[in-house]
Amino acid sequence: PAWSTITDTSLVFEFPEVGVGEEGQIVVEMEPDCQNLMLGEVLCYEARITPDSLCGPMLAGWDGASLQASSFCEGDSLAFRVENAGNGAMASPELYQLNIVNDDIVLLESGSLQLGPGEADTIRALANMDAFLFEVEQPDGHPDPEPVSLLASGCLSPLDTGLLNAFPGSNGNGFFVERCGPVIGPYDPNIKVALPEGFGEEHFIDAGQPIQYTIHFQNVGSDMARTVTIRDKLSPQLSLASFRAGPASHAHEWIILPDRTLAVTFPDINLPDSTSNEPRSHGFFSYSIRPTDGILPFTRIENEAAIFFDFNPPILTNRTEHLIEKPRVAEAVHATLCPGDLYLGQVMERDTVLQQLFAMPEQDSIIWHHVNVLTVEDTTEVGVSLEEPGDWQGISISQDTMITLTLESSSGCDSIVCYHITLLTRLDNPLWAQDIRLSPNPAKDRVQLSWRRLTDQHGEVRIFHSTGRLVAERRVASGTQTLSWNVHHWPSGVYWAELIVAGQRARWRFVVE
């Protein structure tokens, strides 16, 4: 169909009605601006569809929670924001993993999330040049059970183009898709592309990962092609029951023959040759398919296709390859040492990552040791909360302040300590905070910060133990009305919740029993 609206960056297509079970496709042809682009430069496009909410009844066994993730830079540091965009609270926690992606996939951090509707958490990564992969499962029973798998580059460098399509790539929003790719030079137009490409030189994928294949063709002959036929012998390692035909450039027919050959025919396509009409000389067909159930680790999946233009000899595409990855359970351990200390039998002189691999028949177990070696230049940040103004280590404290001390250390490391001192008894909250309530107090299982009306400002909430230790931190988005925390696993004692909006602070004291 033709678009209904066009802007400098967007095309909008409108459909008056789509019947139940009805499906269709939109094909958009685009050409890069070769005069202003460089080889290797990354181009992205995204597509959204509305309505973008589920209109049917709640599925049985689903709590209504739906996780979505995004990434952003804070200075030179990368952060992932995970939001429950659904209408229900998560009935149980979901485990997440934050991985460093370089020559391997290195677990940096793991934890759990349990969010109410509209709630969000932020997971921060290191300030370096690595790429990071954030992964979390959707709650049980979710109508789109594909896990959230979001790849982002460290904020000090662009993403390695070899990683752009190595992973499935889903931010959890089933109504949105983004695809990126590098600008490349001339290539054979009759090719087969597989997404995801897989990680590393072996193109590793998980055993249950669906693969989307797209076969591109172009009539580079000297005359119009009346019929185009594709023959694609599907690997025995692929499940025919999971086959699903996808978008295609022209009207077509397809069938899977008894010998597992996918036969696609474009009858009366009348595809012009590239010399007379280059833009119209292209076509494609796509489909998705999964590996067979029970496929073994290190099984190789290969695929190629033959393209026939009328009665001419076939043109063979390139061969795509994937290797099934052996499942592994990863654990991250973080250690802080002084120069010269021994760790796992090795002398530590600089920051490093060590791997312990325990190979087992069904799956491997890996422990990633992230070792931070301190130097005299390193600074330790310490938060201190005081109940009231007064003397602290011989220093008179009358307001929030920061104090830096140099401490003697026999090892010569971590000698500089920066204390951030906060006076918690200053409850002269600004007027905008008077409509905000913290309850229940005392709390046993959950504590909630609630607004009488939706806030129209952005802010940040931090929760401190009375010892000054920061125990929780969360961003507040415009439109927020409630924020809650599970506190049943927190130590009993006195806590302080601090809300910062536009540089102003409001504080509430509460007790966890």
Against a cut of 0.85, is the pTM above it?
Answer: no
Q: Is the pLDDT of residue 411 over 60?
A: no
Confidence of residue 408 (pLDDT cuts 50, 70, 90): low
Q: How many residues does the chain have?
A: 513
Where are the strands (E) in 210-266, listed by range? Answer: 211-218, 228-233, 238-248, 253-256, 261-266
In this prediction, residue 186 carries a pLDDT of 66
Confidence of residue 383 (pLDDT cuts 50, 70, 90): low
Instruction: Tell me how far CA of residue 302 lies from CA of 63, 191, 198, 322, in angstroms.
Output: 39, 14, 13, 7
The order of strands in the sheet holding 67-74 is 67-74, 77-84, 120-124
- CATH of the domain spanning 25-182: 2.60.40.10
Q: Is the pLDDT of residue 510 over 90?
A: no
pLDDT tens digit string along 178-207?
Answer: 887 777 766 778 999 999 999 999 999 999
pLDDT tens digit string along 341-359?
Answer: 899 999 988 889 999 989 8
Q: Please answer whether residues 179 and 171 qualify as being in contact, where contact means their C-beta atoms are separated by less than 8 angstroms.
A: no
In this prediction, residue 414 carries a pLDDT of 54
Confidence of residue 372 (pLDDT cuts 50, 70, 90): confident
Domains 191-324 and 431-512 share a fold: yes
Cα torsion 242, 243, 248, 254 to 10°: value is -150
Domains of the chain by residue range = 25-182, 191-324, 331-373, 379-423, 431-512
In this prediction, residue 165 carries a pLDDT of 84
Q: Is the pLDDT of residue 444 over 90?
A: no
In this prediction, residue 454 carries a pLDDT of 52
Say which amino acid occupies 259: D
- Cis geometry, peptide bond prior to residue 279 (ω within 30 degrees of 0): no
Angle 247-70-482 (CA atoms, 0-180°, nearest 5)? 120
- CATH of the domain spanning 431-512: 2.60.40.3080
pLDDT tens digit string along 127-181?
Answer: 676 789 999 999 998 888 889 999 988 776 777 767 878 888 888 888 888 887 7
pLDDT tens digit string along 78-113?
Answer: 889 999 998 889 999 999 999 988 888 889 888 899
Confidence of residue 416 (pLDDT cuts 50, 70, 90): low
In this prediction, residue 52 carries a pLDDT of 80
Confidence of residue 380 (pLDDT cuts 50, 70, 90): low
**Of 208 and 55, which is predicted with more confidence?**
208
Half-sphere exposure of 315 (CA within 13 A, CB side): 20
Burial of residue 17 (CB within 10 Å: 0-12, 13-18, 19+) is: exposed
Instruction: Tell me how far CA of residue 236 lies from CA of 199, 240, 290, 292, 321, in angstroms.
Output: 22, 9, 11, 8, 14
Q: Which CATH number fits domain 191-324: 3.30.565.10, 3.40.190.10, 3.90.1300.10, 2.60.40.740?
A: 2.60.40.740
Confidence of residue 407 (pLDDT cuts 50, 70, 90): low
Angle 465-470-472 (CA atoms, 0-180°, nearest 5)? 100
In this prediction, residue 17 carries a pLDDT of 82
C-alpha span between 282 and 299 (Å, rounded): 34
In this prediction, residue 188 carries a pLDDT of 78
Average model confidence (pLDDT) across the chain:
85
In this prediction, residue 268 carries a pLDDT of 95
From the CA atom positions of the chain, what is the Rg in Å? 28
Highest mean pLDDT among 270-284, 428-442, 467-481: 270-284
pLDDT tens digit string along 287-330?
Answer: 999 999 999 999 999 999 999 999 999 999 999 999 999 988 89
Q: Is the pLDDT of residue 66 over 70?
A: yes
Q: Please answer whether residues 478 and 496 qualify as being in contact, where contact means their C-beta atoms are separated by less than 8 angstroms.
A: no
pLDDT tens digit string along 193-242?
Answer: 999 999 999 999 999 899 999 999 999 988 999 999 999 999 999 999 99
